[in-house]
Amino acid sequence: MRESLNIPENLTVNTLLTELKKYIPKKDLLLITLTYEFADEAHAGQKRRSGEPYIQHPLTAAYILATMRIDLPIIVATILHDVPEDTEVTLEEIEKNFGKDIASMLKGITKLGKIKYRGVERYIENLRKMFVAMAEDIRVMIIKFSDRTHNLMTLDAQPKNKQHRIALESLEIYAPIANRLGMGEFKGLLEDLSFPYIYPKEYKKVIDIRDKILTDEKKYLEEIIKLGKKELEKSNIDFIDIHGRRKRLYRLYQKLLQKGWESNKIFDIVAIRIIVKDIGDCYATLGILHKLWRPLKGRIKDYIAQPKPNGYESLHTTVFCENGKSVEFQIRTQQMHDEAEYGVAAHWHYDEKGKRLPKKDVGWAKELASIQKDVLKNIKDLEDIKVDFFKSHIFVFTPQGDVIDLPEDATPIDFAYQIHTDVGNHCNGAKVNDQLVSLDTPLKSGDVVDILSEKHRKGPSPDWLKTVKTHSAKTRIKQALSKSEGNVWWKTIFQKEDEKKKKEKKK
């Protein structure tokens, strides 16, 4: 995995400086040298469990961000990120030497450093703190992701039980947060680095499947890329890059599970990515590909017209290429590509010309503060948090075209309560894509959902609690049932449920 990140074996501050020279002005690099010397002195004599000098950890974390062209203040804070917690140097000293901005980031990192699994109730409280830190300064999570990535790369040095805990937390909490923030690069790294510690047998099986496909398809894809380039040049499309992209291991594992381990049913194990100059060229390229090769029905996805909730934009299409083989193409601009890789971090990312990308609002990041205040305070079950915030999300539409963000397998009832409590309480049916469906139907990304209301309906059905997925829908259904006349017995059931959970937690 170190190789996939292009991290040299004997990393030094000079290696970091060489990487930074690619996008940081030479005059600013002295700060990195001074920062490294300060951190090296603070960590003097400290060693990691692997036996290497402790300074190698913050240095590698900083290098990971440098390969992503992240800006100087974040790199400085990353080199210093463990100094306040693991040495005698205080935040006040950091502020005096490096300024308020760096000290502020380190304060946030220090808060996150205390988040460890110590029982469900304390863990949920710590997750609240994480949401607060993220809402105050999202850069804190960028540093935390690079920190966690290097910790996973060196996880072999830890005891078995700690390996499993750290990997599971990374897979179930950190990777989904990276996904919600649109940071595809970190999501993929965190998942693939955690995968072998959680599912070692499956990991080996997936590697064998992918490597066999890559060996068989390499020459074929090179030929397809060559044909694609020729056709685009003929049509005067000035493309920036065309390259093959292989599917991440953990994502491939999830797809294989869905398809009963039949790899021939997965069309995007290897995809071809085309990066062009502007949106017009994206659509023109799509047309050229469809003229050259026949598209598969239902496999054209326009995430430019309708971006994913985390801001992801791209055109996807799967076509029958030479000899009838199906190949997926992803078409996007350079800015779309950078934002797909780095998400909210794209604002602190420099392009090939040394320019920072314009700031792009990411709705979920902005909602973090209100989420922790209004929702997390009512959640007592870690599984509810995983479903509501950390599970893979889909986006569905109201008939007016508004996007509603829901966890995978959410139902029309979840959708109704997401719009408004009254819509949920008076829900009497649902149409999905103009077809009447049952209220327990799992929704899919892109569905258009129309809720049918009954004005005189007394309230929700108790059976809805068996099928809804979101914590907010469950809470509102329970509240409505508790208030309804003749439903006093529901209060007793809810009380018994709460008592049962408390007993389980004590155990």
CB atoms near residue 98 (< 10 Å): 20
Structure tokens belonging to residue 391? 């599970």
Structure tokens belonging to residue 218? 């390499």
Q: Could you tell me if 471 and 384 are in contact, meaning their C-beta atoms sit under 8 angstroms apart?
A: yes
Distances from the Cα of 489 to the Cαs of 458, 478, 502, in angstroms?
17, 12, 20
Structure tokens belonging to residue 181? 């923030």
> In 3-state terms, what secondary structure has residue 195?
helix
Separation between Cα atoms, residue 190 and residue 197, nearest integer Å: 12
Separation between Cα atoms, residue 63 and residue 75, nearest integer Å: 8
Of 142, 247, 137, 229, residue with least CA distance to 192: 247
Of 126, 129, 124, 164, residue with least CA distance to 382: 124
Separation between Cα atoms, residue 90 and residue 88, nearest integer Å: 6
Separation between Cα atoms, residue 192 and residue 470, nearest integer Å: 27
Of 427, 406, 407, 405, residue with least CA distance to 416: 427
Question: 40, 52, 86, 408: which is the annotated catalytic residue?
Answer: 86
Separation between Cα atoms, residue 446 and residue 112, nearest integer Å: 35
Q: How many CA atoms lie within 13 A of 322 on its CB side?
A: 11
Q: How far is CA 278 from the centre of its chain?
A: 25
- The answer to whether 233 is a known catalytic residue is no
Q: Could you tell me if 49 and 56 are in contact, meaning their C-beta atoms sit under 8 angstroms apart?
A: no
Q: What region does 239 belong to: left with phi over 0, alpha with psi -120 to 50, or beta?
A: beta
Residue bearing tokens 């209100």: 370
- The answer to whether 147 is a known catalytic residue is no
Q: Could you tell me if 358 and 334 are in contact, meaning their C-beta atoms sit under 8 angstroms apart?
A: no
Structure tokens belonging to residue 87? 């040495």
Distant-in-sequence, close-in-space partners of 296: CB < 8 Å, separation ≥ 6: 267, 318, 319, 320, 326
Question: 40, 52, 85, 231: which is the annotated catalytic residue?
Answer: 85
3-state secondary structure 131-171: HHHHHHCCHHHHHHHHHHHHHHHCHHHCCHHHHHHHHHHHH
Q: Which residues are catalytic?
A: 85-86
